[in-house]
Amino acid sequence: MKDYPVWVNGVPGGFLPVSDRGLAYGDGLFETVRVSDGKPTLADHHWRRLQRSCQQLGIAVDTERLLAEVDAFLLDNQAGDAVLKVIITRGSGGRGYNPEGCLCARRILSLHSLPSRPRDPGRYGARVKLCQMRLGRSPLAGLKHLNRLEQVLARSEWRGDAYDEGLLCDYHGNLVEGTMSNLFIVTHEGDLVTPDLSFNGVAGVCRDFIIEFGCHLGLTVKERCVPRGLDVAEIFLCNSVNGVWPVIEYEGRAWGIGALTAKIRDCVLEELNA
């Protein structure tokens, strides 16, 4: 794989005009897709979310054209196993917040190496901290839009490898998500629970996949408020690049890697390596 190749609107090259609204206002969205043997994984989930998000933001994108560009981009760069980032911005328009005059969305594709860590949290478990940053209520809840300053500031709360991830609460003290992941818990009764994202957070692709196959496995999957003080049997985090990370340390407490977490982890890993 070439080092970080980039296409903009189907043309190789990593240059954007300073008038791009994604740069000026964060006016756009993105998908981060794990690529296995040159093919996007969880692809249907990613493209459905991208379409829904574009519709909600009122950004017109020719999805068929975009997906054809993705296929050509991965083939041209001999992607193998990698991370594909797809960014859609509203494009360029006049100065100011008014989006009138933005006639053409901009499609940005970039390819990156899979993340490498000296210690694999998926295998050995993740050490997690509670971040001080709080997530506010947002009409953009669920979307993976380009305004990610809350996550940037939360991730800046620790350096080095003391923690693998940080968890964020809302202003009521309920856990919402990780800086780059979604949260699941397994209750002592055996239910699978993930925070309700009606008011904040990102509805992750891996989260959706786990909810779907959890139901197929006959599990009771609930979306509800999750208090920051966790009295639960198992905890795990997930995203579409890293898969599932069992949580083994959080706020001075420790857990083993539970049987259900391990089963879900292996199921997701199989899907990401398909």
Give dist(CA 2, CA 28) in Å, integer. Answer: 26
Strands (E), 58-181: 82-89, 106-112, 126-135, 165-170, 174-178
Q: Determine contact, residues 8/15, Cβ cutoff 8 Å.
A: yes
Q: What is the dihedral of CA 249, 253, 257, 263, to 10 degrees?
A: -90
Catalytic (active-site) positions: 32, 144, 177
**Residue 144: phi, psi to the nearest 5?**
-100, 70
The SS3 call for residue 207 is helix
Q: What order do you get walking across the sheet with 6-8 strand by strand?
A: 11-12, 6-8, 106-112, 82-89, 28-36, 39-40
Pairing between strand 39-40 and 106-112?
Answer: unpaired
Q: Which residue has the tokens 């994108």?
A: 61
In what helix (H) or strand (E) does residue 72 lie, and over which residues does it extend? helix 63-76
AA identity, residue 58: G
Give dist(CA 268, CA 274) in Å, integer. Answer: 10
